[in-house]
Amino acid sequence: MKTITIDMLYARDACQPQVDLFSHLFGQSAEVTPEACTAVAGQFNWTWAAHNLLPSPLWAEYKRQRAPLWDEYNRQRAPLLDEYDRQCAPLWDEYDRQCVALSAEHDRQCAAISAEYKRQCAALFATLYLAS
């Protein structure tokens, strides 16, 4: 029986949220089985685990076998991204149009207070410099 422990995660500098998740899901340790891993596939970062817990040759094998899975994922995801971009384009255009006006007004309002701040800093510097 092979296990993963919280101590192993800490020893390999796992991020605290993943350590906390592991603890919540499994306690102090978990027996590694395909069923246990796939049961939490959407939560636990198994690529991090593969990179940090597998010996180098098995990490290389993991990457080799993962590559076609990644390619297929991206193939299926591409039309979804295209549709998302198509629907977002007019929204971004409107966002950009409104932000230009907001940014100009913000800059206009900040100009006076920025000038006053800089004036006060210059006077402060001169006063302290002359006192030194």
pLDDT in tens, 5-42: 999 999 999 999 999 999 999 999 999 999 999 999 99
Residue 90 domain boundaries: 56-132
- Number of structural domains the chain divides into: 2
Nearest CA to 22 among 46, 2, 44, 39? 44
d(CA 82, CA 128): 60
Residue 19 contacts by C-beta under 8 Å, 6 or more apart in sequence?
6, 9, 10
In a shared domain, residues 73 and 132: yes
In a shared domain, residues 82 and 110: yes
In a shared domain, residues 30 and 64: no
pLDDT top residue among 132 and 82:
82
Please answer whether residues 29 and 5 qualify as being in contact, where contact means their C-beta atoms are separated by less than 8 angstroms: yes
pLDDT at 132 over 90: no
User: In the predicted model, what is the mean pLDDT of the chain?
Assistant: 95
In a shared domain, residues 16 and 73: no
> Sorting pLDDT into bands at 50, 70 and 90, what band is 54?
very high
